[in-house]
Amino acid sequence: MPQATQEISETAVTNDPNARALLQKAFENTARWPADFGGFTSNLEVNTNGTKSQGTVTVNSAKDVSVSLPDADLQKSIEGTVGMIVVHRAHRTFDEADGKYALTFEGDANHPFGQRLRIHGDNSSSFYYLKDNRITQINRTMQHIAFTINVEESAVTPEGKNLTIKYTVYYSSPKDGSLRNVESVTDTHVRVGTADLPATRRIISYENKQVVTKTLTFTNHKLT
């Protein structure tokens, strides 16, 4: 995976208004829950290579997510998965997200994923690719892990917003770029009120020297 370049001096970066406008439009074209969304509860079934586990999900906010499952390790893992779904779907403004950083273009727009755009100062060396007013690829590098997310398929909500339904994540070493894991994620959603809530998530990954297929099935959704 191509590694993000380190900015020499964040203070020397001049925000590009064209880059900001492009990313803001893509951001505003992305489906999120309404500003007054209060959360939801649902039943949950987790199927890991044929082994099923039943539980429940409670979402009160992007920072208040709980999962109940019989196995503590599985519960912790699935709580993280559901938490990330909520973070990406929860309402927030552009200025609360990437809009608070300096944004610049890098290179031309000939890449298959479109125009490359750098986010300066987020401590993750982040850069995106954008095409047709959509974010098509996300790259971040942290201390212990780097990842690239390729957005492969999206649905369009009744409001005309893009809702990602399939993407692949490539995890790599931030030191030498060696590949550590790949996850293929496929989602379906159910419309409850004016919110598109998770219905299923299938994750295919490589763990402990084997390919693992895991499905999360959410049923009996209730708004709170």
* Spatial separation of the C-alpha atoms in residues 208 and 108, rounded to whole Å: 40
Q: Is residue 4 part of a domain?
A: no
Domain membership flag for residue 24: yes
What is the pTM for the complete model shown? 0.91
Phi-psi region of 131 (alpha: psi -120 to 50; beta: other; left: phi over 0): beta
pLDDT of residue 209: 85
Instruction: Tell me the per-residue pLDDT of 107-152, one tens digit each, with 9 for 90 and over.
Output: 999 999 999 999 999 999 999 999 999 999 999 999 999 999 999 9
- Residue 104: domain span: 14-223
- Whether 8 is in a domain gets the answer no
Confirm whether 87 is domain-assigned. yes
Q: What residues does 124 pair with on adjacent strands?
A: none
Q: Considering the domain boundaries, does residue 175 fall inside one?
A: yes
State how far the Cα of 184 lies from the Cα of 54, in Å rounded to an integer.
Answer: 23
Q: What is the pLDDT of residues 179-188, one digit of tens each?
A: 999 999 999 9
Domain total in the chain: 1
Do the domain assignments include residue 217?
yes
